[in-house]
Structure 1
Amino acid sequence: MSIGVLEPLRRRLSLTFAGQSEGIPAWELALEDGDDAGYFAADSVTWRVHGGMTPIVGGIRALLTQALHPGVLAGVLDHSYYQEDPLARLARTIRWVFTVTFGDTEAARAACEHVRRRHGPVVGRYADGRGAEREYSANDPELLEWVHIAFTDAFLGAYEYVRGPLPAGRADQYVREWAVAGELMGVASPPRSVAALRERLDAYDDGARLAHSPRVDEAVGFLRNLPLDPMLVPGYRTLFAAAVDSMSDRHVSLLGLDKSSLGRGLLPPRPAASLTLAVVGLALGSPGPSEQAARRRLARLGAPPPPPSTAP
């Protein structure tokens, strides 16, 4: 498939993910700056899991999982303009993920501090899974931890769903590495193994902290039918189905979804997602601008070169 044929797709994807159809955002180019290699080495599992295209599926899955906590969901629905600017939160999340992953330590710390400042005014009340009224703040330890473990589980799960299981011990290594991001965001003791991550996820399912509600239906409906450019809609539907298919049956049930009702196309969700991500990777190029900027910084610092990219 020629690059020229994919140019319209590239422009629309760039506008969706970066907010501009031409050029590279200044914040991505700035990842070339800095005086150290960052929190994650070029041969880290974090670079491997966050590189390529699987983070698109991981991002959808993370948003769905995070929405299961009514406190987290209240913060999003009550304090964001997601209906007026539905892709703004996505763009901010992408910027944070790639800055922490590929930036130097100063850039990573600054990105986390910026998010924590934005969280400051996000306060309110919500009804938990048992109907009890509770106060919340986006910087509450419980909410911060849920967002972190949901993210970790989603990005690792999406990678292994699309690409296959990581070699022995590498999934644990990813959870241990990404715990640094949790600490930077204020999570007191993030899990450092897959077993600890699963235990922490299960502990939240206590009847109060995770719950299905009409607000969950609202969030799921919105995520399922994002107001995207028509050219992107078929691919997004494929990736949404894959994100749901990759989740635990318990979380899918809490979302009010049914895996059997998803992915009724020509291919099952997993191979359909692999094909879609391959096309997206061809359109956007690999490695992406953030990783390329980090590679230039590492070369300038004389750090060991990263291994070749294996995207998507």
Structure 2
Amino acid sequence: MPVTDAFRRRIGDAVFERVVGPRQPVPSERPRITEAERWFAADRPIRLVHDDCAMFAGSIAALLMQSLHPLAMAAVADHSGYRDDPWGRLQRTSRFVAVTTFGRRADALAAIAKVRAIHEHVTGTAPDGRPYAASDPHLLTWVHVAEIYAFLRAYEVYGGQSLDQAARDGYVADMALIAAELGVPDPPRTEAGVTATIGRYRPELAGTPQAWAAARFLLREPPLPLVVRPLYRGLAEAAVALLPRWARSELRIPALPFADAVLARPAGHLVVNAIRWGISAPNA
């Protein structure tokens, strides 16, 4: 293997293993899934969006957005172990997205049932004294729309190709099928519906000490090997550039006029393309 390919492979493996887990060494030994068996057909927008490296930035942005609901953030702080095992949590989330997007419907429903069973045990009291439950349909809806906003926005800014409005609405409709199985009542099925739902939640959203600590950890303190630290730093900045200005304000993340357009987004393109370059490195 040439030196350049070896370096690409090293970067690709470092990023891939942090987000997804170790690569399977012999793909031919994994069970094959025919297109006819998959829940979502190859032409569905969810497949296009979730197969793009823009998801790396979108995932960070989604976590930041979700942290702005004090009850959702309290559940994460009390039960997720994101500080003790941040990459394990991210890998489990990545595998869930992969199986629900690219897997058989039966396998996706089994993964969803497992998540719902875990949610039943995630209960507690937030620092402000309010009780929370991860199975609460109201909290599930917020987590869902924040995720859609972040993933779709990331693809719009850093993705491999543009989506017209029909495809954007199609993505939301695809995600609604998963959300309904997770317990979200009447999830939005258009991009306009997502925007309206976020607007309805806006009075409930606020930065809290738990959210500030999570943002600090995600953006400044994640445990990383040296080879991927520069990439992650650029990825974190790219993710922040996806957030609405009000969300950054609540999270106490400074926003400078024109900095997104002039610095963060171009840098985000470079980082996402670098990840694409690394992950696509040929095998030895």
When normalised by structure 2's length, the TM-score is 0.89
How many correspondences in the alignment?
Answer: 276
Q: Give the aligned partner of residue 230 of structure 1.
A: 226
% identical equivalent positions: 34
Q: In angstroms, what is the RMSD of aligned CA positions? A: 2.5
Say which of 147, 157, 162 aligns to 2:158. Answer: 162
Q: Give the aligned partner of residue 20 of structure 1.
A: 22
Alpha-carbon distance between aligned partners in 2 of 1:93 and 1:85, rounded to the nearest angstrom: 13
1:10 aligns with 2:25: no
Counterpart of 1:168 in structure 2: which amino acid?
Q
Query: 5+ unaligned residues in a row in structure 1: which ranges?
Result: 287-312
Name the CA shift for 1:121/1:89 in 2 (closer, same or farther; >3 Å): same
Q: Give the aligned partner of residue 81 of structure 1.
A: 81
8 A contact 1:241–1:263 mirrored in 2: no
1:179 aligns with 2:171: no
Q: Give the aligned partner of residue 239 of structure 2.
A: 243
8 A contact 1:125–1:134 mirrored in 2: yes
Alpha-carbon distance between aligned partners in 1 of 2:35 and 2:191, rounded to the nearest angstrom: 32
Say which of 140, 147, 163 aligns to 1:144. Answer: 140
Say which of 271, 274, 283 aligns to 2:269. Answer: 274
Q: Deviations over 1:37-67 (max 9, x none)?
A: 3331101111111112011011001100010
Q: Deviations over 1:180-232 (max 9, x none)?
A: 111111101000111111010011111xx211111111010010121111211
Say which of 255, 260, 263 aligns to 2:256. Answer: 260
Instruction: Provide the secondary structure at the position in 2 that maps to 1:205.
Output: helix
Is the helix fraction higher in 1 or 2? 2
Counterpart of 2:165 in structure 1: which amino acid?
A
Alpha-carbon distance between aligned partners in 2 of 1:40 and 1:155, rounded to the nearest angstrom: 17
Q: Give the aligned partner of residue 44 of structure 2.
A: 44
8 A contact 1:46–1:174 mirrored in 2: yes
8 A contact 1:109–1:184 mirrored in 2: yes
8 A contact 2:219–2:233 mirrored in 1: yes
Q: Give the aligned partner of residue 205 of structure 1.
A: 202
Name the CA shift for 1:230/1:187 in 2 (closer, same or farther; >3 Å): same
Instruction: Provide the secondary structure at the position in 2 that maps to 1:136.
Output: strand
Name the CA shift for 1:261/1:99 in 2 (closer, same or farther; >3 Å): farther
Query: 5+ unaligned residues in a row in structure 2: which ranges?
Result: none
- Structure 1 range deviating more: 269-278 or 213-222: 269-278
Name the CA shift for 1:15/1:35 in 2 (closer, same or farther; >3 Å): closer
Instruction: Provide the secondary structure at the position in 2 that maps to 1:270.
Output: helix
| Per-residue deviation, 1:269 | 1.4
8 A contact 1:68–1:210 mirrored in 2: yes
Alpha-carbon distance between aligned partners in 1 of 2:148 and 2:27, rounded to the nearest angstrom: 26
- Structure 1 range deviating more: 100-109 or 39-48: 39-48
Alpha-carbon distance between aligned partners in 1 of 2:53 and 2:183, rounded to the nearest angstrom: 28
Counterpart of 2:177 in structure 1: which amino acid?
V
